[in-house]
């Protein structure tokens, strides 16, 4: 990975671009049980007034991490942003944050009953993603032959739990690509031997 890393942060129509002091990227496609695992990165920045202001007044903050012009991660800034107060000449030093992928968008409950009868797994996935504001990668089409007799969620059901369960039932899991789009994969497509399902890259900028 090059040293030309930037983080674009956006909230309430305001967009700023900052260069991180340090960044740790953990890429986890799935856990040992072949189920989805949230991806997250840890980032620290030197103090800047515009960054501190965005952290202080922003609501949901989306983040796009780029290596040069290439997007390498997209997610949402976690609420546990912290900073170090070292006094003069700057009141704040080393702003730290965690940026998580869009898994949390699924961690909401249904406002009413959801029911699909004589449908397909693709239709179920599209329904859940649509309800939760998640974009499905255009290249991702689960074969229409994967039929689902009935999919029903009572009012107040958790979308993430339902998604994990229905995909696992039919041999699928999912992750988010660098642009934050939903991508599925079939367990049978995982090769017998592969380098790893998890890697961590740490970049320390001087």
pLDDT tens, 112-129?
999 999 999 999 999 999
Query: Given this model, what pLDDT does residue 203 score?
Result: 43
Q: How far from chain centre, in Å, is Cα 138? A: 17
Task: Dig out the tokens for 119 from the structure.
Answer: 């449908």
Q: Residue 64's pLDDT band (boundaries 50, 70, 90)?
A: very high
The answer to whether the beta carbons of residues 156 and 162 sit under 8 Å apart is no
Q: Residue 33's pLDDT band (boundaries 50, 70, 90)?
A: confident
Alpha helices (runs of H) in the chain, residue ranges in sequence order: 49-57, 121-132, 159-169
The answer to whether the beta carbons of residues 67 and 20 sit under 8 Å apart is no
Distance, in Å, from the CA atom of 121 to the CA atom of 4, rounded to the nearest integer, reads: 41
Contacts of residue 53, Cβ cutoff 8 Å, sequence gap at least 6: none
Task: Dig out the tokens for 174 from the structure.
Answer: 């999912």
For residue 176, count other CB atoms closer than 10 A to its CB: 23
More confidently predicted of 155 and 190: 155
Query: Given this model, what pLDDT does residue 83 score?
Result: 62
Question: Which tens digit of pLDDT belongs to each residue from 177-195?
Answer: 999 999 988 877 654 544 4
The answer to whether residue 32 scores a pLDDT higher than 50 is yes
Distance, in Å, from the CA atom of 177 to the CA atom of 184, rounded to the nearest integer, reads: 10
3-state secondary structure of 7: strand
3-state secondary structure of 49: helix
Contacts of residue 1, Cβ cutoff 8 Å, sequence gap at least 6: 67, 72, 201, 203
Query: Given this model, what pLDDT does residue 82 score?
Result: 65
What are the C-alpha distances in Å from 26 to residues 20, 45, 114, 185?
Answer: 16, 18, 34, 19
**Closest C-alpha to 110, from 163, 156, 164:** 156
Query: Given this model, what pLDDT does residue 142 score?
Result: 65
pTM score, whole prediction: 0.81
Average pLDDT of 16-29?
Answer: 86
Comparing 56-60, 126-130, 196-200, the range with the smallest average pLDDT is: 196-200
Asked if the bond preceding 21 is cis, omega within 30° of 0, the reply is no
């Amino acid at each position: 990975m090059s040293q030309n890393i930037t983080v674009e942060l956006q909230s309430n129509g305001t967009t700023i671009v900052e260069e991180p002091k340090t960044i740790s990227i953990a890429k986890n496609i799935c856990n040992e049980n072949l189920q989805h695992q949230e991806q997250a990165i840890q980032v620290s920045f030197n103090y800047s007034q515009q960054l501190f202001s965005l952290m202080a007044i922003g609501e949901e903050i989306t983040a796009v991490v780029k290596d040069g012009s290439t997007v390498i991660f997209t997610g949402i800034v976690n609420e546990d942003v912290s900073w170090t107060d070292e006094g003069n000449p700057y009141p704040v030093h080393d702003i730290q944050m965690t940026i998580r992928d869009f898994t949390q968008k699924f961690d909401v409950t249904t406002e009413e009953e959801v029911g699909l009868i004589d449908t397909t797994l693709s239709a179920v996935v599209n329904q859940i993603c649509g309800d939760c504001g998640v974009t499905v990668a255009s290249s991702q089409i689960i074969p229409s032959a994967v039929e689902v007799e009935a999919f029903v969620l009572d009012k107040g059901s958790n979308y993430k739990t339902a998604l994990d369960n229905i995909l696992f039932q039919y041999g699928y899991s999912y992750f988010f690509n660098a642009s934050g789009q939903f991508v599925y994969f079939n367990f049978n497509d995982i090769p017998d031997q592969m380098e790893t399902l998890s890697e961590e890259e740490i970049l320390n900028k001087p």
